[in-house]
Amino acid sequence: MTNVQFWFDPVCPWTYVTYRWLAEARQVRDLTVTPRLLSLYLLNLGRPDTGHREIHAASRDLERFLAWVRDGYGNDLMERAYDAISVGLFIAERGDFLELVRDVAKELDLPVDEATAAACDQSWDPAIASDHQEALALVGVDVGSPVIAVAGTAFFGPVLSRAPAGEAAGRLWDGCLALASHPDFFELKRSRGSGVGPVFDG
């Protein structure tokens, strides 16, 4: 069994596509996934605003809630909470993050008032920052969400507009791992074109 560490910011829709791909890949490859937190708010501190600063700052509530879930209930429930948050954000297109936290807590049978309080509790920020810095130590600062680490290698991405399923997801995993494991590899990229966004229908 190969463990994959998956750093994510919960507000990034592209990251959720990557997560859905990993969920498919572990059905056909011998993988487990350990969720970790990466903060686009922290990553972009001191950088010019690209129009996302407000939502990155608001995402701190979601990050704190997820840190609280992991601390009290473990990685598996943290991953389920991330999936439920993502469905709320990207499928249902909800915008009230604290209300979303309350509803996800209800869905997972977590104490709602404690969950809401945790989302506003800055004492969780050092745990988020620790996760975040660990990811950047592996891949550098010129990256985004998600970051994946596996079998002694780490990389940003892959950034996908749609998650492949079944064996196609497994083959993409094989290719990513082979490329990222090459000692001289550092970047592979192409423009996505205008109007191309993340797709969640399969």
Examine residue 75 and state whether it is found in any structural domain, yes or no.
yes
Examine residue 96 and state whether it is found in any structural domain, yes or no.
yes
- Residue with token string 């937190």: 37
β-strands 147-150, 31-37: how paired?
Answer: unpaired
Examine residue 34 and state whether it is found in any structural domain, yes or no.
yes
Examine residue 79 and state whether it is found in any structural domain, yes or no.
yes
Residue type, 160: L
Q: Report the percent of the chain where pLDDT is more than 90.
A: 77
Q: Please state the pTM of the whole predicted model.
A: 0.94
Q: Which one, of 71, 65, 110, lies nearest residue 85 by Cα?
A: 65
Confidence label for 195 from pLDDT (cuts 50, 70 and 90): low
Q: What is the per-residue pLDDT across 159-169, written as a single tens digit (0 to 9) for each?
A: 999 999 999 99
* Dist CA 58 CA 68 (whole Å): 17
Q: What is the per-residue pLDDT across 98-150, written as a single tens digit (0 to 9) for each?
A: 999 999 999 999 999 999 999 999 999 999 999 999 999 999 998 999 999 99
Residue 131 sits at the vertex; the CA angle it makes with 23 and 115, to the nearest 5 degrees, is 75
Q: What is the average per-residue pLDDT within 77-86?
A: 98
Examine residue 186 and state whether it is found in any structural domain, yes or no.
no
Q: What is the per-residue pLDDT across 14-43, written as a single tens digit (0 to 9) for each?
A: 999 999 999 999 999 999 999 999 999 999
Expressed in angstroms, the distance from the first to the final Cα of the chain is 26
List the domain range (segments joined by +) for residue 85.
2-181
pLDDT at 60: 97
What is the CATH number for 20? 3.40.30.10
| Residue 147 CB-half CA count within 13 A | 25
62: pLDDT strictly greater than 60? yes
Examine residue 108 and state whether it is found in any structural domain, yes or no.
yes
How many separate domains does the chain show? Answer: 1
Decide: 173 and 20 in contact? Cβ < 8 Å: no
Considering the chain, what is the average pLDDT of its residues?
Answer: 93
* Dist CA 39 CA 132 (whole Å): 6
Higher pLDDT, residue 183 or 171: 171
Examine residue 149 and state whether it is found in any structural domain, yes or no.
yes
Examine residue 196 and state whether it is found in any structural domain, yes or no.
no
* Dist CA 34 CA 7 (whole Å): 9
